[in-house]
């Protein structure tokens, strides 16, 4: 009987090795900083730039969550 477990690609393994070295708090800090920077830009009247920077928060926080899960649960 075959093992139906999916195999990780080389690129995925390489990315996980690099990102696992970064503390999860860095991603949290970067996400919150993006939100704060966006709010400051919005208050200064730079609406388009504020919206662009504000959209960085979600991917940064998701990367931090993924990083935390991989460190806690493992990748396989």
Tell me: the pLDDT tens digits for 36-69? 999 999 999 999 999 999 999 999 999 888 888 8
User: Is the distance from CB of 61 to CB of 31 less than 8 angstroms?
Assistant: yes
- Give percent of the chain above pLDDT 90: 43
Q: What confidence score (pLDDT) does residue 48 get?
A: 94
2-29 CB burial, b ≥16 within 10 A, e <16: eeeeeeeeeeeeeeeeebeeeebeebbe
For residue 13, pLDDT over 60 is answered with yes
Residue 59 to residue 40: CA distance in whole angstroms = 20
pTM of the complete model beyond 0.85: no
Rounded mean pLDDT of 28-37? 94
What's the CA gap between 42 and 53, in Å, rounded? 10
Residue with tokens 């996980």: 16
């Amino acid at each position: 009987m075959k093992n139906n477990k999916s195999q990780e690609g080389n690129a995925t393994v390489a990315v996980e090795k690099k990102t696992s070295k970064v503390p999860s708090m860095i991603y949290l800090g970067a996400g919150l900083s993006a939100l704060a920077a966006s709010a400051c830009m919005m208050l200064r009247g730079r609406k388009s730039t504020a919206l662009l920077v504000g959209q960085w928060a979600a991917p940064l926080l998701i990367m931090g969550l993924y990083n935390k899960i991989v460190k806690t649960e493992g990748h396989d």
